[in-house]
Amino acid sequence: MSGDELKYIEDAFRSNWIAPLGPHVDAFEKETAQYAGVKHALATSSGSAALHLALRLFGVEEGDTVFCSTLTFIASVAPAIYQKAVPVFIDSDEETWNMSPMALEKAFDDAKKANKMPKAVIVAELYGQPPKIDEICEICKSYNVPMLEDAAEALGTTYKGQKCGSFGDIGVFSYNGNKIITTSGGGMLLSDNEDYVKKARFWATQARDAAPWYEHTEIGYNYRMSNLLAAVGRGQMLHLEERIDQRRKVYARYKKAFRDIPGITLMPEAKDCRSIQWLTAITIDPSTQRSFMDVLNYLNANNVESRPVWKPMHLQPVFEGAKYFTHSDKSVSDRIFATGLCLPSASAMTEDEQEWVIKCVKEALAG
């Protein structure tokens, strides 16, 4: 928290607009749409809620297939299961760690032969980094399949000067407590398609019809953000660029510290991109004779919290047997998971704290 959130929260209290909805929700939507460069936005109770609404807008139903990034958090995929759809997982590429256009083409080719095209493609933007968006958008357009851009970890990232969250037919942000800015819990659905956002707004408010009483011809959800949480978000947005600058400095210090250490490679920053560097992730080559768990355990013993990278969705027990298309003859995401580690990357990290992390990583590798 910066402190600026309090003036918006106090305004919500003074006006007695606490929940549900209210003027801060309207303003937060407008300000976020303007920041992202889209025409419309809808504040939701979570990023997952926004993803779920998006898939329903795309007409995803029971038995439909949805192509999904495999190297991501399960929240990117679970909304497809809410709709009783079948996820098909797409590998990462080496240059971005995100969805591989080559693997995506393989999946579409397979779907075309089977005469069962997907209803949507969910593209996650891992740790604040975009994929090769131009190529992925072109592939989706060529098959006339909508792209859902899961920019939950990439609020503020730009690709060729354009904000992430604005490339897909629908984009989604998350304001969970671990994101670069937070409303403690919440999300945002973004689109240039006004009809999409109007329909999502209707479903997100329990699908209440225009009648003097509570009339419902469709099933909806309690998916809207409260005025109080939107007030927090407005205060946080004032400091988004500052937070991005802090995260990028954290990444740059790690990059400088590890550039001459054999066996350590940082997650690459995509070409033509300004990543927010939400998390700095590294891979540890087997030639070091140290696994990522060796380093993680040493860091934990020295009061440094670190975590493995996301376990790919195609390796999750809950998705056992799901189709999976690799980037090449070997799975890139499997390799990243087997060697990858996320380092402390908080905006508020001091240089001394980061130097301690760097020292511990070097000690762990040195044995």
Mean pLDDT of 73-99: 97
pLDDT confidence bin for 58, thresholds 50/70/90: very high
Domain match, 147 and 272 both: no
Domain match, 245 and 233 both: no
Domain match, 255 and 200 both: no
DSSP at 173: E
- Residue 222, number of CB atoms within 10 A of its CB: 10
Domain match, 272 and 260 both: yes
Contact 18, 226 (CB under 8 A): yes
Q: Widest CA span of the chain, in angstroms? A: 72
Residue 271 pLDDT: 84
Is pLDDT at 19 greater than 80 in this prediction?
no
Mean pLDDT of 251-271: 94
Domain match, 138 and 279 both: no
CA 282 – CA 262 distance, rounded (Å)? 12
Mean pLDDT of 42-59: 98
pLDDT confidence bin for 1, thresholds 50/70/90: confident
Tens of pLDDT, residues 332-342? 999 999 999 99
Residue 367 pLDDT: 81
pLDDT confidence bin for 51, thresholds 50/70/90: very high
Residue 107 pLDDT: 98
Residue 183 pLDDT: 96
Q: DSSP readout, 116-130? A: ---SEEEEE-GGG--
Contact 144, 109 (CB under 8 A): no
CATH number at residue 130: 3.40.640.10
Contact 279, 128 (CB under 8 A): yes
Mean pLDDT of 90-96: 97
Domain match, 197 and 290 both: no
Mean pLDDT of 74-94: 98
Q: Helix (H, G, I), strand (E, B), or coil: what is residue 179? A: coil
Amino acid at 341: L
CATH number at residue 271: 3.90.1150.10
CA distances (Å), 207 to each of 166, 167, 171, 221, 224, in order? Answer: 26, 28, 22, 7, 12
Domain boundary among 237, 252, 274: 237
Domain match, 205 and 251 both: no
CA 280 – CA 250 distance, rounded (Å)? 8
Domain match, 220 and 264 both: no
Domain match, 151 and 245 both: no
Residue 20 pLDDT: 79
Residue 83 pLDDT: 98
Is pLDDT at 285 greater than 80 in this prediction?
yes
Stated pTM of the model: 0.95
CA 18 – CA 24 distance, rounded (Å)? 10
Average pLDDT, the chain: 96
Domain match, 229 and 247 both: no
Is pLDDT at 21 greater than 90 in this prediction?
no
Mean pLDDT of 238-267: 96
Domain boundary among 237, 252, 278: 237
Is pLDDT at 27 greater than 90 in this prediction?
yes
Q: Helix (H, G, I), strand (E, B), or coil: what is residue 320? A: coil
Domain boundary among 237, 271, 291: 237
Residue 25 pLDDT: 97
Is pLDDT at 72 greater than 90 in this prediction?
yes
Domain match, 346 and 244 both: yes
pLDDT confidence bin for 18, thresholds 50/70/90: confident
Residue 103 pLDDT: 98
Residue 39 pLDDT: 98
Domain match, 210 and 95 both: yes
Residue 332 domain boundaries:
240-366
Tens of pLDDT, residues 314-353? 999 999 999 999 999 999 999 999 999 999 999 999 999 9
Is pLDDT at 175 greater than 90 in this prediction?
yes
Number of independent structural domains in the chain: 2
CA 188 – CA 25 distance, rounded (Å)? 11
